[in-house]
Amino acid sequence: MRTIRLIAATALLLAGCEVTEVTSNQTADSGPVATASAGTDEQAIRALNDRWLQLIRDRDSAAIGELYAEDGAVMPQGEPIRVGRSAIAAWWAKSMEMPDYSLTFDEESVTVSQSGDMALDRGTWQFSATPESGPVRDSGKYVVVWRKIGNEWKVAADIFNSDGQQAGNPPS
Amino acid sequence: MRTIRLIAATALLLAGCEVTEVTSNQTADSGPVATASAGTDEQAIRALNDRWLQLIRDRDSAAIGELYAEDGAVMPQGEPIRVGRSAIAAWWAKSMEMPDYSLTFDEESVTVSQSGDMALDRGTWQFSATPESGPVRDSGKYVVVWRKIGNEWKVAADIFNSDGQQAGNPPS
């Protein structure tokens, strides 16, 4: 059961709309550019979050892998890190095999660097599934760091963990 | 035991020296500034990591709290998020109360944004302690996102999780 719960907890995506802008300007000559692009960058990340959620519903692990940078990492709770798109896609494929797999996410804040090439996204996630051993449910928190590679935002690091025992979880 | 192990896993710090620079320049007019400051920023973060490790050895939870941004967050495995320095310092104080508490960390990569106001730091950690219930040991991975507030790098988000069962851990 423990293993299943940990695999379940791995599912980390982003959703929601609450976004915080970087408003301070510590590097004078990049300020205007950052200010002009911040809204666009946030919108791009939000759109990617929406796409990510849809890809989960579609069980499209290959396309989810493409959301990550080539050297991106998923860092699942209770499992070793996976680096690189193919390893990441394989991890997602395995996770999503669980019956009744459901994963939702809510951003709490998105902070974009002044240069518009890095963003901190943190929030919460909720998971449930019905493996043969019985229903599992878990929830927790995540950090995703986005980097702009060329003109595209990609996931550089994706890490998450559980807040603890949840109703519906078997004792671990 | 589970609770103790999860609290143990919370100890997240940074150490080590392997650093990766951002070399691409996507925002032309911030490029020269970013290039000039990147080394300095990495050195500053590395120095903070060294300081953080020393503060752990000193069991100085108040000073550890000051390493975080005012709205910074520690996101411990198996526990709710703590936001703000006083809540974070209290969490560290409680964690470090364990007998024979030991925590080490190794950076795998540090990536600084072009504007030099945000950095992604990811790596590994190792923990051990000897509570009354018997020796515990755990290891895993972390992401720390640094932001430059004024002229100082501060921890905006600090999240980590275990790689799984380790030798010396009791069954959970």
pLDDT at B55 over 60: yes
Percent of chain A with pLDDT over 70: 73
pLDDT number for residue B37:
61
Are A115 and B114 within 8 A, CB to CB?
yes
Chain A interface, Cβ < 8 Å to B: 2, 6, 22, 24, 26-27, 29-30, 33-34, 73, 75-81, 111, 113-120, 122, 141-143, 145, 147-148, 150, 156-157, 159-164, 172
Inspect the interface and report whether the beta carbons of A159 and B142 lie closer than 8 Å. Answer: yes
ipTM: 0.77
Instruction: Note the pLDDT of residue A10.
Output: 37
pLDDT (tens digit, 9 = 90+) per residue, A128-170?
Answer: 999 999 999 999 999 999 999 999 999 999 999 999 954 343 3
Average predicted confidence (pLDDT) for chain A: 80
A42-67 as b/e, with b when 16 or more CB fall inside 10 Å? Answer: bebbbebbeebbebbeeebbeebbeb
Q: Is the pLDDT of residue A41 over 90?
A: yes
Query: What are the tens digits of pLDDT across the range B11-50?
Result: 333 323 233 333 333 333 443 444 446 679 988 998 899 9
Whole-number pLDDT of residue A12: 36
The answer on pLDDT for B51 being more than 50 is: yes
Evaluate whether B142 touches B12 at the Cβ level (below 8 Å): yes
| A33, A80, A120 ranked by CB distance to B156: nearest | A120
Q: Where residue B169 falls among pLDDT bands split at 50, 70, 90? A: very low
